Amino acid sequence: MSDTHQPTDTLHLGQQSALPASPQEAKLDYPANPRPDALYLVRFAAPEFTSLCPVTGAPDFAHLVIDYAPGQTIVESKSLKLFLGSFRNHNGFHEDVTVGIGQRLADEMKPRWLRIGGYWYPRGGIPIDVFWQTGTPPEGLWVPEQGVAGYRGRG
């Protein structure tokens, strides 16, 4: 589990940061939530996410959508971009990659609620979409659709 950092003690924000060699080496920053008493949703979309097939080593591409309702911390976007970028050399099945990203964020950030949608582009003619969430969204949280079209020129 990664250490939590205050906004003035971030590893990446305002600093030169190299792309981590692997997801395990990636360090995510979790500054304090600036609105801890407000119930709100944060969305990150990564339409050009890449990892590698664990069998062939060929690249797999996905459009990831991560939605979360912050608790006491938020995830700093540069550290998240570096973490997601570290998957470009990572071998993993779509299910393992998608759920693993969601679980790591949930375990480390401890949001009120989190969900991830992994909309994977087809290989072998079949797109695979993977969804995971921590549970039922808190009452009163506005949770919009993730906005990724079913496969037919997904973009």
Q: Which residues are catalytic?
A: 53, 60
DSSP code of 104?
H
DSSP code of 89?
G
Closest C-alpha to 78, from 113, 117, 112, 27? 27
Residues 6 or more apart in contact with residue 34 via CB below 8 angstroms: 74
Residue 16, token pair as written in the block: 């030169």
Contact 137, 114 (CB under 8 A): no
Contact 116, 98 (CB under 8 A): yes
